[in-house]
Structure 1
């Protein structure tokens, strides 16, 4: 980690503490302690295991993709990838640091740069696609509930969907209308020249975007040829997301809240995750806690239980991955074996 990353990590921990302190300002300390002592720890353990399974399945996706690329990747090192991704997603705006961090971790393990880029591109495409599919289903199931009871967040849900949908449409355009997409990008950057005094700056940006489009197009050709692999990693990613999205349900059970619908709770969590992606602050801090409190107040009427639920949810879905990522970062990986070389 760079010095700046370490500073941001400390700041995020301080911010998290400040947000929790602010959240409990109107909550009786005795009530909060009482709710903690009454926790059903078996359900809390299930929630943690669910998060760990999500990490494991993401690692399995990486391993399956690397195997196709001709690399024998130990599961121990594969698990490092999503954990390091969690750490850098958690300390960078819009989770922008996760992709470069994963690439660095793969290169550390001796994976060829071309293979590593290929694997991460395919993983990204599938992950984004499955998120959009989950979100569409969740909108169909839960949007009416949200729009009726929580009007203030309805616009954020739609905006979050629009952002992710645009990403998918852009990827589809590159896959099937490559030349047309290149022309659109060229036209866009031509307009940018009027806003920059130095021509070299926007030309440099255009070159970077062109390179990324070319890389993705080349990988998309391989994706279309490997439809069986595509189906396999899509199913793995769906199950991975399911274990992640179901965590609030187990937290509610741990708090003794049993009169809740599994599908509705899971749906609400999908919508919350989409809102978080809109906030530029690392980890969506502030926005994540606010969204959770607003939405889950319909399931939990007790204020101290609501704050405790929010804290537990944040610890499991955000801070757990970050702390495990810090450990994974210092673990020295084994050098990967390439099956092509063995032959």
Structure 2
């Protein structure tokens, strides 16, 4: 981890404390202490186990993809990959640091850079596809509720969906209309040069061409192995579901019995989509606001709502950062080829 990343991590922890203090400004300490004492720790442990299972299933996807590359990848090293991803996603804007960090971790484990890139490309395509599928279902189930109560926030949901959907459309264009996509990119950069002749534009075009070509070559292999795609797609879907149901167990831990598993899971999917739009690492500020606003429908007690938000952030954000820091210093087992 670079000094810059360490600095960002410290700043994010400080920001987390500031947000917590701001959230607690109108909450009675006695009420909060009572809620903590009456917390059902069994359900909280289930919520943590659900989050850990999500990481584990992502590690299984990595292991399966590397086995496809005729590699016997140790499970311990596979588990490091999603944890290191969580750490760098959590300290970089728009979670942009996760992919390079995973690549570094795979190379560190003895995987060839080309094969590691190939594995991460396939993993990314499947993951994005499952996110879009989940979000489309969530929109049909819960968007009308959010739109009726929070008009401004509902626009963020739609904007988030459009961004993720555009990513999938772009990937599909490369997979099935490669020559057309290359021409489209060429036209885009020609138009860009009408406004500027910067050397950076040439560099961006070269980088994008390389990425498009790499993805196209990988997509040819993807299309030949539909069974593998289906398999890792199903595992990724289950992985996401374990992540999305965490708030439901937190509500049960707080003693909220009359809550709908479907509705809570749906709202969490929508919240995650909003978080992805905030440039601040981890969506800090926006994440807490979105959770508190939406889940106030289930929890009317202000101290319980703040506690629910705190527990949710600890499990879905700070736990990943902590485990990622541990994974970063653990020596990986080398791959067997």
Q: Distance in 2 between matches of 1:127 and 1:260?
A: 28
Q: Distance in 1 between matches of 2:3 and 2:195?
A: 33
Q: Distance in 2 between matches of 1:329 and 1:41?
A: 29
Q: Distance in 1 between matches of 2:181 and 2:46?
A: 46
Structure 2, gaps ≥5 residues long: none
Alpha-carbon offset, residue 31 of structure 1: 0.4
For 1:1-343, list aligned pairs within 5 A: 1-198=1-198, 200-338=199-337
Residue by residue over 1:55-112, the C-alpha shift from the partner in whole angstroms, topping out at 9 and shown as x without a partner, is 0000000000000011110100000000000000000000000000000000000001
Would you say the 8 A contact 2:74–2:334 is kept in 1?
Answer: no
Structure 1, gaps ≥5 residues long: 339-343
Q: Distance in 1 between matches of 2:197 and 2:53?
A: 51
The number of equivalent residue pairs is 337
Q: Distance in 1 between matches of 2:90 and 2:232?
A: 24
Q: Distance in 1 between matches of 2:296 and 2:243?
A: 20
Q: Distance in 2 between matches of 1:12 and 1:192?
A: 36
3-state SS in 2 of match to 1:337:
coil
Alpha-carbon offset, residue 197 of structure 1: 4.5
Alpha-carbon offset, residue 213 of structure 1: 0.3
TM (norm. structure 1) is 0.97
Alpha-carbon offset, residue 276 of structure 1: 0.3
Q: Distance in 2 between matches of 1:59 and 1:22?
A: 36
Q: Distance in 1 between matches of 2:21 and 2:153?
A: 24
Q: Distance in 2 between matches of 1:112 and 1:175?
A: 24
Q: Distance in 1 between matches of 2:194 and 2:200?
A: 12
Q: Distance in 1 between matches of 2:178 and 2:212?
A: 8
Q: Distance in 1 between matches of 2:147 and 2:192?
A: 38
Residue by residue over 1:222-259, the C-alpha shift from the partner in whole angstroms, topping out at 9 and shown as x without a partner, is 00000000000000000000000000000000000011
Residue by residue over 1:93-139, the C-alpha shift from the partner in whole angstroms, topping out at 9 and shown as x without a partner, is 00000000000000000001111000000000000000000000000
Q: Distance in 1 between matches of 2:152 and 2:201?
A: 38
3-state SS in 2 of match to 1:195:
coil
Alpha-carbon offset, residue 194 of structure 1: 3.3
Q: Distance in 1 between matches of 2:221 and 2:18?
A: 47
Q: Alignment RMSD, CA only?
A: 0.7
Alpha-carbon offset, residue 201 of structure 1: 1.6
Alpha-carbon offset, residue 195 of structure 1: 3.4
Residue by residue over 1:297-324, the C-alpha shift from the partner in whole angstroms, topping out at 9 and shown as x without a partner, is 0000000000000000000000000000
Q: Distance in 2 between matches of 1:334 and 1:42?
A: 34
Residue by residue over 1:159-188, the C-alpha shift from the partner in whole angstroms, topping out at 9 and shown as x without a partner, is 010000000000000000001111111111
Q: Distance in 2 between matches of 1:69 and 1:98?
A: 22
Q: Distance in 2 between matches of 1:233 and 1:165?
A: 20
3-state SS in 1 of match to 2:27:
coil
3-state SS in 1 of match to 2:230:
helix
Q: Distance in 2 between matches of 1:76 and 1:201?
A: 41
